[in-house]
Amino acid sequence: MRTGYLLSISSTDVVAGTEIATQEVVVEKLRIMDLVFDPGSIWIMIPLMLMLAYAIYVFVERLLTLNKAAKEEYNFMNNIRDFILNGKIESALSLCKGNNTPLARMIEKGISRIGRPLNDIAAAIENEGKLEVQRLEKKVAGLATISGVGPMIGFLGTVVGMVIAFHNMAANPNNLNIADLSAGIYTAMITTIGGLIVGIIAYIFYNILVARIANVVYVLEAKTTEFMDLLHEPV
């Protein structure tokens, strides 16, 4: 009798194991577009996508502007030096006006003040330099704002999603539906991820541009110092 009982258990285990082995596990793959356009989180994801698009636009536009500002015409400062030492002030001004760069505009401001005290020339160049730096930094502050606001908006979606999840639990305490509960948590996680991604990208863009602006400003200061040294040279 005991032997028959053991055989019965073994047979049952084999059948159960066979059933488990033959079951197909269907796992639905998550796609990025499904996450972005999920009905429960789209009201958060759309502002995040708009901020990401704006951050990319500002980064590309500013980077191109900074690259252009960093370029200097071949022998520009040497030509300026020759014109000034030879008394060709108008030729030096024309050369500056023909170059649409921050350096050319700063040097032009200094050349237009030649004949006045050197302190006045230096002050004019410094004021023009401040204006040029403001132009270079245009829109960059927006990236800093996005890097901070993006995660906060994502966190807002997280809070709303958790509120929805707990509300569904409270509405049906005796008949909890795992689908309703998971919907709120799903929304919470998606918005958090979206906000962090936007914030991280904007933060990286911001720091790249800040470093690039600092490099351009350093070059401008070096070239304007070279120009002031030129004015100190005896004619």
Q: Is the residue at 176 inside a domain?
A: yes
Q: Give the model's pLDDT for residue 39.
A: 56
In the block, residue with structure tokens 């006006």: 97
Residue 127 maps to a domain: yes
Whole domain around residue 177: which residue ranges? 32-232
- If the chain, 235 residues long, is cut into consecutive pieces of 10 residues, what is the mean pLDDT of each piece? 44 43 46 56 83 95 90 82 87 87 90 86 90 91 92 85 73 67 71 90 96 92 87 65
Helix (H, G, I), strand (E, B) or coil at 114: strand
pTM of the complete model = 0.75
pLDDT score at 22: 41
The pLDDT of residue 72: 75
Q: Which pLDDT value is given to residue 177?
A: 66
Contacts of 207 (CB under 8 A, 6+ apart): none
Q: Is residue 25 part of a domain?
A: no
The length of the chain in residues reads 235
The pLDDT value recorded for residue 62 is 93
Note whether residue 8 is domain-resident: no
For residue 203, tell me if it sits in a domain: yes
Structure tokens at 37: 């356009």
In a domain, residue 131? The reply is yes
| pLDDT value of position 14 | 42
Total domains present in the chain: 1
Phi, psi of 72 (to 5 degrees): -130, 135
Look at residue 88 in the predicted model and tell me its pLDDT: 87
* Residue for token pair 């979606």: 157
The pLDDT of residue 85 is: 85
Residues 22, 16: Cα–Cα separation, whole Å: 10
